[in-house]
Chains A and B, each alone.
Chain A
Amino acid sequence: DTAVSQTPKYLVTQMGNDKSIKCEQNLGHDTMYWYKQDSKKFLKIMFSYNNKELIINETVPNRFSPKSPDKAHLNLHINSLELGDSAVYFCASSQVARTEAFFGQGTRLTVV
C-alpha cells in the first residue's frame, strides 16, 4: 500500500520538450506539495495545494504548472525543459497544516 506515489521514477528527456510527473496519495490528506532537490541535495518547496487550491507558489519559472484535479492528485507539468531543470522532484502530502509531510519516492529528471 503506497501512501504517496509518483510516476515516473526516472525521466530522461531532451531540452525543449514538455513533460509531466504524476502524484497520487491515498492517505486522505488535504494538502499536497511539490519539492525540488538540487544536485547539492538542497530541498526547496515549489508549490503547495490545499483541497485543490494553490496556497504556496514559490518563485518558480512559469514553465512549471501544477494541476490538482482532486485533493488526492497533484501533477506537475513542465514546458520547454532546460538543462537546469535536472533535479529530483518530490511530491508530498500532509493531513493538516503543521503536521509531518509524507513523501513520494521522488522523480529523477535528467534533461540532456
Chain B
Amino acid sequence: AQTVTQSQPEMSVQEAETVTLSCTYDTSESNYYLFWYKQPPSRQMILVIRQEAYKQQNATENRFSVNFQKAAKSFSLKISDSQLGDTAMYFCAFMTSGSRLTFGEGTQLTVNP
C-alpha cells in the first residue's frame, strides 16, 4: 500500500522569508508522480508543483521548488519569498499507475506579516 506522510501539522513563516514543508512516501512502484497541492480557505484545491519520479532534476515553479530524494522517498516543498497569499493547507500527493492519487495529512502554513 502506498502511504504519504507529512510530519508537520502546522508551520508559520514571516512574510518574505523561506519555508520548507516536508513529505515522505512509501511505495514499491518505480514509476509514479508526486505533487504538492494548496488549499486556501476558499476550499479550492490548487496544483502548486509536480515531479515525475523518473526525472532527476528537481521541479521549480517561480517561488516554489522541490527537493526530490528518490532513494530516501522524500519530497519537500520550498517556498521562497513567502507572501500572505501563500497561507493555506498544503498537501503532498502521490499518483501511481492505478490512477490512485494518495494524499498526506496536510500542513497548515500561515504567513505572518
Identify the A interface with B (CB < 8 A).
Answer: 31, 33, 35, 40-45, 48, 50, 55-56, 88, 90, 92, 94, 97-103, 105-106, 108
> What are 11 A-to-B residue pairs whose CB atoms are below 8 Å?
A33-B99, A33-B101, A44-B103, A55-B99, A97-B99, A98-B31, A98-B32, A99-B33, A102-B47, A103-B37, A103-B44
**Nearest A residue (CB) for B105:** A42
Identify the B interface with A (CB < 8 A).
Answer: 31-33, 35, 37, 39, 42-45, 47, 50, 89, 91, 95-103, 105-106
CA distance A22 to B96 in the complex (A): 26
Given A56-B99, A100-B50, A101-B101, A42 contacting B43 (CB threshold 8 A) = no
Q: How far is the CB of A21 from chain B (nearest CB, A)?
A: 14
A101 contact set on B, CB distance < 8 A: 95, 101
CA distance A55 to B95 in the complex (A): 14
Of B33, B89, B100, which one neighbours A48 at CB under 8 angstroms?
B100
B95 contact set on A, CB distance < 8 A: 97-101
Q: How far is the CB of B62 from chain A (nearest CB, A)?
A: 17
Q: How far is the CB of B44 from chain A (nearest CB, A)?
A: 6
A44 contact set on B, CB distance < 8 A: 103
Task: Tell me whether A105 and B43 are in contact (CB under 8 A).
Answer: yes
CA distance A101 to B44 in the complex (A): 13
CA distance A97 to B39 in the complex (A): 23
A98 contact set on B, CB distance < 8 A: 31-33, 95-97, 99
A56 contact set on B, CB distance < 8 A: 98-100
CA distance A41 to B97 in the complex (A): 25
Q: How far is the CB of B104 from chain A (nearest CB, A)?
A: 9
